[in-house]
Amino acid sequence: MPISEQLRALEKIAGRSLCTVSDLSGEEVDAVFHAARLIASGTVPLADELRGRVVLTAFFEPSTRTRLSFESAAARLGAGVISIADVSSTAIGKGESISDFGRMLDSYADVIVVRHAQAGVIDEIRAHGLGKPLMNAGNGWGEHPTQALCDWLVLEDWMRREDAARPAAMRLGIIGIPRRMRSIRSFLLLGCARFRDLIRDMTFVSSEPDCLDRELAAALAEAGIPIAFERDLDRVVGEFDAVYINSLALRDGHYVAENAEYRLDGGTPLKREAVILHPLARGAELSSDLDNTRHNLYFKQAEWAVPVRQALLLAVCGQIDALAEAYSASSRR
């Protein structure tokens, strides 16, 4: 059966890992979004496309959204799920090395999802020739690529919605310390690589003047995105069309609240149409009195976590026929 051109790129993802946002081409990102939107629309009757597969989620760090949404995505596709939510329950708790742990994974699962506080762990696991697709669910300050997919999907939907008040390209405010915040790092790297056309400029609001690392600075320069740095949030917040905020940062191996002097709440002089993104979990930097306002895009980021991860699991397992068939059927209607 011929499949749509937009979904065809998913075939190229079969068997591959997603460790950084650069592991997907722009065409592949578009295909994942297309598949996720089809799944979320409910027009695709998915049930057991991954029956007989096993998805392993190994979380060496706390998580609500990422682990549960990967597991929900797997369960909704009929896969079995085995899970490490508490590292002390594994032999690592009695001293086993990460590399020995990594060597076992190929035998136990078809897709491996890992979160760890050390940025180098993903490379360490891969170094031993892991044959199964590995999903980076957050590695220290490094990256959180599947989160960035959720972020840009909802932001792209918001930007492309018919609305006279919506700008063609947004002024984006980043409140945080990107070089120590993996969700913001992946968001920026994916934005530079794939969504340049949606960005007019970026302002980094940070207590640290040196809030970017070399990779981020190079990506922004290569994309030709005008950037500015600002310490006074009130002076610039009214200019932003979209604001990405976080305060959880990795310092000396521990997560701490940083940039804590910055806070968005109902009294912040945001532009009327502006939207706020946050990967959650939030701290004091994002007040719940914004939850029931038009500014709230952060709950949508979390809502899209399941269909985006369903699309990714189908793609890495090479199981996109059901999507393609449903797409063809809906196109014929």
Residues contributing to the site for ligand CP (CB under 6 A): 63-66, 138, 144, 147, 279-281
Nearer to ligand CP, 64 or 288 (CB): 64
Nearer to ligand CP, 34 or 144 (CB): 144
The nearest distance, CB 150 to ligand CP, in angstroms, is 8
Per DSSP, 293 falls in state S
Cβ-based neighbour number of residue 132 at 10 Å: 18
The nearest distance, CB 217 to ligand CP, in angstroms, is 24
The nearest distance, CB 318 to ligand CP, in angstroms, is 26
39-46 long-range contacts, CB within 8 A, separation 24+:
39/307, 39/310, 39/311, 39/323, 40/304, 40/307, 43/326, 43/330, 44/322, 44/323, 44/326, 44/327, 45/322, 45/326, 46/76, 46/77, 46/310, 46/322, 46/323
Nearer to ligand CP, 66 or 203 (CB): 66
Nearer to ligand CP, 301 or 319 (CB): 301
Q: Token digits for 307?
A: 């269909």
The nearest distance, CB 65 to ligand CP, in angstroms, is 4
The nearest distance, CB 189 to ligand CP, in angstroms, is 16
Nearer to ligand CP, 44 or 249 (CB): 249
- Give buried/exposed letters for 205-226 (b at 16+ CB in 10 A, else e): bbebeebbeeebeebbeebebe
Cβ-based neighbour number of residue 164 at 10 Å: 4
